[in-house]
Amino acid sequence: MSYVIMAVRNLSRSKLRTTLTTLGIVVGVSLMVALFAIGEGMNVRMEEQLRALGGAEIMIYSTSGTRGMRVATRGNPISEEYVETVKAIPGVELATGILSGSGEARKNQTFIIGIDPESYFQLMGELNIIEGRTLLPSDLDSYGTVIGLNLAEELNVTIGSNLNTKSWGGAWDAPWISFEIVGICETGNPQQDRGMFIHLSHAQYILTSKDEYGAGERHVTQILVKTEDPSQIDDVVKRIEETVPDVRVFAAKTMIQRIQESMSTMILFLEGIGSIALIAGTIGILNTMMMSVFERTREIGTLKAIGAKDREILVIILTEAAIIGILAGAIGCMTGAAGTLLWANFSRTGYGITSIQPVITLEILLTMFGIGIVTGVLAGLYPAWRASRMDPVEALRHG
């Protein structure tokens, strides 16, 4: 028999109360696990988006029709001519225009990325092709497309399959093209992995034509720029702003800074919510331990009479609190992880905030398990101290 066995026996004396007390911390810990997992997911998403920037040091969007990094199909795109204008600006090494937007392939939503293969791959680097080949200039005439792995799996298509594609939500007579899949890629960017890389002019036909006889507007939604000298980026940005009308110009590094700022605010907010839940749970344990110490006043008096020192009483009560903490930490980690995985399962096909895939790391679980234990012990400190300081004569006289 040890203090641990004594503590377990005491806790099982009123199982319901112990369960409810534990539940308080369980809620706090599982909430924190979920929140941290989402925060981690946001980090991963940011890294993906940064990776998606590739070699692009400057991004040019139109003043309307775009929102952050997501590009709407409608709005006020940039004329393709400006790609050449930007290329001619001093300090610009490479520039490529992209037209992207929601498309529909075999009734499924997809993300159309219209590119000029030569300049795009030169600037962004090659796609990670896992099957077939990359998009070539010759695909302009043969209507080839490279699609993302997830889309390929969703549609159950492979190299050589044809994909009838039009704009998402387009009318029955909306312009469409039957593409032949020439390659399947996996870039790690969820939008691209559910997307189709096609030639810019194909994208222009699908996304900007008024009807199926239209030729499509020669528009792009963004222009990516690589500079000759990265230390001159700010000057180049200024020059672009002066030369090209109605556009917003971002340096990648400022964008990264901004994302990181909003991300850390978000994570701070999430941590705040979790802490409040944990504090509530801590008060729950504190309350229960105070009550259970009070109820056992005479027992504590007895322990003192038969020779227990203050420190030993303290350890006995703290052991109980620690066991609650260990239980709550373990259960909280499990329910938190389970709930998070469930969320991840539902959010796989979502967009926007719900598309963030929570990421549970061992570090999160260990941290939260530790916090569960620490919470238990902290909440037990005061009741344990009170118990250890009881006057034995008074305590023995108690009810």
Partner 1 sequence: MAEKRIADVRRKVSNFLDTDVPVKTGNIVETQNLTKVYRMGKIDISALTGVDLKVPRGDMICLYGPSGSGKSTLLNLIGGLDKPTSGRIMVDGVDLTKLGGNQLAEFRLRKVGFIFQNYNLIPTLSALENVELPMIFAKVQKKERKKRAVEMLASVKMDDRLKHKPDELSGGQQQRVAIARALVNRPSIILADEPTGAIDTETIRMLMRIIRELNSEGQTFVIVTHDLLVAQACKRSIILRDGRIERELTGKEIAQAIIASGRENARS
**Residues contributing to the site for partner 1 (CB under 8 A):** 1-2, 6, 9-10, 13, 298-299, 301-312, 392-393, 396
Q: Shortest gap between Cβ of 10 and partner 1 (angstroms)?
A: 6
Indicate the residue among 282 and 388 with the shorter CB distance to partner 1.
388
Task: Tell me the closest approach of the beta carbon of residue 392 to partner 1, in angstroms.
Answer: 5
Residue type, 127: L
Task: Name the minimum Å distance from CB 306 to partner 1.
Answer: 5
Cβ neighbours of 250 (radius 10 Å): 18
Cα 198 to Cα 81: distance, rounded to the nearest angstrom: 19
Cα gap 166→151, rounded to integer Å: 15
Give residues with Cβ within 8 angstroms of 18, minimum separation 6.
Answer: 11, 12, 288, 324
Nearer to partner 1, 2 or 231 (CB): 2
Coil, strand, or helix at residue 57?
A: coil
Shortest CA distance to 187 belongs to which of 125, 103, 257? 125
Least CB distance to partner 1 at residue 308 (A): 5
- Measured CA to CA, the distance from residue 245 to residue 241 in angstroms comes to 7
C-beta of 283 vs 393, nearer to partner 1: 393
Count of other CB atoms within 10 angstroms of residue 258:
12
Query: What 3 state SS string does 78-90 have?
Result: EECHHHHHHHHCC
Minimal distance, residue 399 CB to partner 1, in Å: 10
How far is it, in rounded angstroms, from Cα 315 to Cα 307?
Answer: 14
Q: Using alpha carbons only, what angle is made at residue 211 by residues 207 and 217, rounded to the nearest 5 degrees?
A: 45
**For partner 1, the closer CB: 212 or 312:** 312
Residue with tokens 């962004």: 124
CB nearer to partner 1: give 13 or 74: 13
N- to C-terminal Cα distance for the chain? 27
Q: How many residues does this entry show for the chain?
A: 399
Smallest separation, CB 384 to partner 1 (Å) = 16
For partner 1, the closer CB: 65 or 392: 392
Q: How do 195-199 and 108-115 pair as beta strands?
A: parallel
Smallest gap from residue 380 Cβ to partner 1 (A): 18
CB of 329 to partner 1, least distance (A): 24
Which of 316, 286, 288, 320 lies closest to 300 in space, CA to CA?
Answer: 316
Nearer to partner 1, 43 or 297 (CB): 297
Q: What is the CA radius of gyration of the chain?
A: 31
Which one, 16 or 88, has the nearer CB to partner 1? 16
**Nearest approach, Cβ of residue 326 and partner 1 (Å):** 19
> Rounded to an integer, what distance in angstroms lies between the CA atom of residue 342 and that of residue 34?
11
| C-beta of 256 vs 396, nearer to partner 1 | 396
